[in-house]
Structures are given as structure tokens and as C-alpha cells.
Amino acid sequence: MITVEAARKIILAEIQTMGREKCLLSQSLGRTLAEEIVSPLNHPPWDTSAMDGYAVRKADIGEASPSAPRKLKVIEKIPAGRLPEKKLGRGEVAKIMTGAPLPEGADAIVRVEDTSQEGEEVSIFVVPDDGDFIRYKGEAIRLGDSILKKGIQIRPAEIAMMASVGKSVVSVFQQPRVAILSTGDELADLDEERGPEKILNSNGYGLAAQVSDAGGVPINLGIARDTHADLIEKLKEGLRADMILASGGVSMGDYDFVIEVLKELGAEMKFWKVSMKPGRPLAFGVISRRPVFGLPGNPVSSMVSFEQFVRPAILLASGRNETTRPTMKAVLKEEIRKRPGRRLFLRAVVSSLGDEISVCLAGDQDSAVLMSLVKANAFIILPAEGDLVKSGEQVTVQLLSDIHMVDSEG
Ligand code: AMP
Ligand code: MG
């Protein structure tokens, strides 16, 4: 049995980065950026006003106050989207809107609420500081600046940023295609007629969703019976994908043939069994440079193994800089008794109580019980050593989704 770290290292060493492709900016949400973005322009392109108000020459304002306003001449009105036509001379101001270019000679903006205009004369009630409410050319983005790094996930903010520098087509990494085979004589697919001896194939669907969530493209190979012939036929189909996942059939049972069949198909198996709970029976190998995972059959084990090993592999193949979910510390709100030996991944609920991040178990930890995974937003990760963790101790948690805001009753 190898450790989680050793297993992850072996897996990631076998991952090839996907090629690149072009993608419309408007369709790039969630994809991984395959190029560094360097700004071809300054933003703002000129000095501009950050407020609706008056562009002034500070020297003209003197000691203006509400009781002794300074009266100045309005020579122009500059809306956003038009360049100024006049230069400010002594005693002159221009009315200016947010985002409009500053007229020559102006060195501060006075907000409209600190003024009062009658005809062509405006009364200024305050003394602006030098540069008040001016956004200077290139202040937000300077021409030639590196604004986005290769290997990041494209979020709405990155899309807005790229749009702001005119990038309408971006280079992204291709999405790995991941074939998913569910194995087991007891499995029936959804909406299929089934006998009383059957259970529904949940892994196929859960894994496909995890693949999509990680940025891969799932290819459903359906269900294989626990026979050599069926396993070989279905796994062969997986060879057109970039990665293969099989679930079930990798334990010690009389019908667990997946590893044998993978070897028959030419797989070089790298390890079988990881020192963790759930998820011990994990087989990993490579068939003609394609990573192939034999995931445990129990529904929770399969999803936990995916999280810890397959997700990082998909992210790395997708060109991502960061491949593991971050961990953090939380205060444990109950006592946990455990058997020493394997690292534990416990389904848990992390909550934010005031300024404390706390965590408690999400229910039954049996690896066939999906309900506690549904309730969980995190894993508590406990070391292999030790048999007791006391309430009030700090434990390591790995967040899977948002922290709950109130408490952990649900
Ligand atoms: P196995 O490792 O094949 O012995 O499977 C372990 C347990 O997981 C058994 O109870 C299986 O019935 C169950 N199982 C295996 N594959 C699936 C699947 N695709 N969906 C739901 N349960 C499964
Ligand atoms: Mg089975």
C-alpha cells in the first residue's frame, strides 16, 4: 500500500498536457488559458474623470468654501465618448461626466454636488486636492503589462479583463476526454427494465459529473458485466479517450477482473491500493500513454478517489497551474474515534460561526452511504496515526464547495 502523496506523484508524472485551441472569449468561461495576455493598450486610454463634475485648474480655486464660493466660467461640456475641444485658460472650467477625457490644463475634478451652476457660471464650494477624482492614463492597465497568466481558470473577471483589452478570441487548452466504464453484474442503467437483483448505476453518473466539473469531457461507456470478454470489449472503446476510468471490480472478490483485463490490454500497472479510507482499492496504470484508473466500486469511495487523484490529473492535463483543492484548518466540534493505519477522508460540514471556522461530521461514514456526501461541503483529512481526535482540536479540512454561513444542523 502506498501513501496518498506517493500515489498522486506517480499519477501526475504520467499526465501529458493537452494541446491548445482557439475559443471565442464569450465561450471561454471555465476553460484554462493557454497564453499569457499582454495588454496592447492603456486603460484608461487618457486621463479621465472618475466623477460627474467640473474639470478645473486648482490654481483658480483659491480658498473657496460654501459661504464664499469661487465663481468660474464654464466653457465646455464634455460627455463620455467625446474628446474635449477646448483647453482651460485662467478662470475657466469644463463640465465633465464620469469617464470623459480630461481637457488640457485641468488638474483636478470638483464633484457636481460641491458646486452650483447658473447659466455659464459655476460656483465652487470646496478646495480640491491635486489630482482629485482623476483617473490617469494607464492607471488600471498599462500598455505592455502582463495581465493574465497562462494556466489559470477563466472566470467572469478574467473575461471582463480580456474584453477590456480587446481580446475576442483566446487560446485555451483542449479539454481531456475521459471515458467512464461502470462494472458489475448487479448494475442496471437508469430507465432500463431491471430485475429485483439489480441496483442502479450511480457511479457512472457521479463520475461523469465530476469529470465535467473538473473541466474534462465525459464519454459514457455504459456498464460492463463481470466477464473478461465484456470488460475487454468495453475498455477497448475507452482507448479513443485521453483518460479511462473504470469503477468497481478492483477489490479481492471472485469477480474482480478489471486489473487482469487492463494488463491483457497492455496496461503497465503502476500501483494498486492506497493507504486511505475510503478508497483503498485504487489501481492505476498506463495503456499506450493513456492514464487508466481502476476506481473502487462503492459510490462514496469512487467519488473520494476521483477527488484526490483523478481531478488533479484532469486539471494537470488541462494545463492548469494549480491541481489540488486547498486545505485549511477548522475547529472540530465533536470527538472522533478512529482506527490507526490509513489516512481518513471524512465527509464533513464546515461552517462559519462568527469569525470561527468550525467543522463537524456530515453523518454516516460508511462508504456506500451517499447521503453524507450530499450533506458535506468538505472532507476532514485525518492522519493515519492516532485513535482519537478531541472536540475543540484544529483539524485539516478540504473544501469541496462553499462554506455554510450559519450552523451545521442540516
Ligand atoms: P466492487 O468493488 O465491484 O465489489 O463494488 C463494491 C460495491 O460497490 C458493491 O456493493 C457494488 O454493488 C457497488 N458498486 C459498484 N459499482 C457501482 C456503480 N456503478 N454504481 C453503484 N454502486 C456500485
Ligand atoms: Mg463489482
Our answer on whether the CB atom of 251 is closer than 6 Å to any ligand 1 atom is: yes
298, 366, 369, best to mutate for ligand 1 pocket (most atoms within 8 Å of CB): 298
177, β-bridge pairs: 217
Torsion of CA 43, 47, 51, 53, to 10 degrees: -160
Q: Kindly report the CATH number that applies to the domain delimited by 327-405.
A: 2.40.340.10
Instruction: Report residue 313's pLDDT band, with 50, 70 and 90 as the boundaries.
Output: very high
CB atoms < 10 A from the CB of 325, how many?
15
Phi, psi (5° rounding) for residue 352? -105, 110
Cell of 158: 478574467
Share of the chain above pLDDT 90, in %: 96
The tens digit of pLDDT for each residue in 182-237 reads 999 999 999 999 999 999 999 999 999 999 999 999 999 999 999 999 999 999 99
The tens digit of pLDDT for each residue in 60-117 reads 999 999 999 999 999 999 999 999 999 999 999 999 999 999 999 999 999 999 999 9
Residues 6+ apart with CB under 8 A from 96: 49, 52, 53, 54, 55, 77, 78, 102, 103, 109
Q: What does the alpha-carbon distance between residue 376 and residue 379 come to, in Å, rounded to a whole number?
A: 8
Q: What value does the mean pLDDT take over residues 149-162? A: 98
Q: What value does the mean pLDDT take over residues 347-360? A: 92
Instruction: Report residue 397's pLDDT band, with 50, 70 and 90 as the boundaries.
Output: very high
Q: Which ligand minimizes its atom distance to the CA of 225?
A: 2
DSSP string for 275-318:
SEES----EEEEETTEEEEEE-SSHHHHHHHIIIIIHHHHHHHT
Instruction: Report residue 303's pLDDT band, with 50, 70 and 90 as the boundaries.
Output: very high
pLDDT given for residue 10 in this prediction: 98
The tens digit of pLDDT for each residue in 369-390 reads 999 999 999 999 999 999 999 9
The tens digit of pLDDT for each residue in 243-287 reads 999 999 999 999 999 999 999 999 999 999 999 999 999 999 999
Would you call the peptide bond into 44 cis, given omega within 30 degrees of 0 as the criterion?
yes
Residue type, 35: E
Report the CATH architecture of 20-41+143-173: Alpha-Beta Complex (3.90)
Q: What is the DSSP letter of 345?
A: E
171, β-bridge pairs: 22
Report the CATH architecture of 48-135: Beta Complex (2.170)
Share of the chain above pLDDT 70, in %: 98
CATH of 4-16+175-317, one of 3.40.50.10470, 3.40.710.10, 3.40.718.10, 3.40.980.10: 3.40.980.10
Q: What does the alpha-carbon distance between residue 370 and residue 82 come to, in Å, rounded to a whole number?
A: 61
pLDDT given for residue 410 in this prediction: 46
Residues 6+ apart with CB under 8 A from 87: 103, 104, 105
Residue 165 has pLDDT above 90, yes or no: yes
Length of the chain: 410
Judge contact between 336 and 346, C-beta under 8 A: yes
Domain layout of the chain by residue ranges:
4-16+175-317, 20-41+143-173, 48-135, 327-405
Nearest residue (by CA) to ligand 1, atom 5, is: 297
Our answer on whether the CB atom of 185 is closer than 6 Å to any ligand 1 atom is: no
Q: Locate cell 487523484: which residue?
A: 309
Judge contact between 40 and 166, C-beta under 8 A: yes
Phi/psi-derived region of residue 242, left when phi > 0, alpha when psi is between -120 and 50, beta in every other case: alpha
Residue type, 164: S
Residues 6+ apart with CB under 8 A from 245: 178, 179, 180, 181, 207, 211, 292, 293, 295, 306, 310
Our answer on whether the CB atom of 278 is closer than 6 Å to any ligand 1 atom is: no
Residue 407 has pLDDT above 50, yes or no: no
Residues 6+ apart with CB under 8 A from 364: 371, 372
Our answer on whether the CB atom of 297 is closer than 6 Å to any ligand 1 atom is: yes
pLDDT given for residue 408 in this prediction: 44
Q: What does the alpha-carbon distance between residue 160 and residue 25 come to, in Å, rounded to a whole number?
A: 9
Q: What value does the mean pLDDT take over residues 29-43? A: 98
pLDDT given for residue 355 in this prediction: 86
Alpha helices in 219-308 (DSSP H): 228-237, 258-264, 299-305
> What is the 377 CA–ligand 1 centroid distance (Å)?
24
Model pTM score: 0.94
Measured over the CA atoms of residue 341, residue 345, residue 349 and residue 350, the dihedral's sign is positive
Residues 6+ apart with CB under 8 A from 334: 360, 361, 391
Our answer on whether the CB atom of 184 is closer than 6 Å to any ligand 1 atom is: yes
The residue among 228, 222, 225 whose CA lies nearest residue 180 is: 222
Residue 406 has pLDDT above 70, yes or no: no
Phi, psi (5° rounding) for residue 99? 90, -5
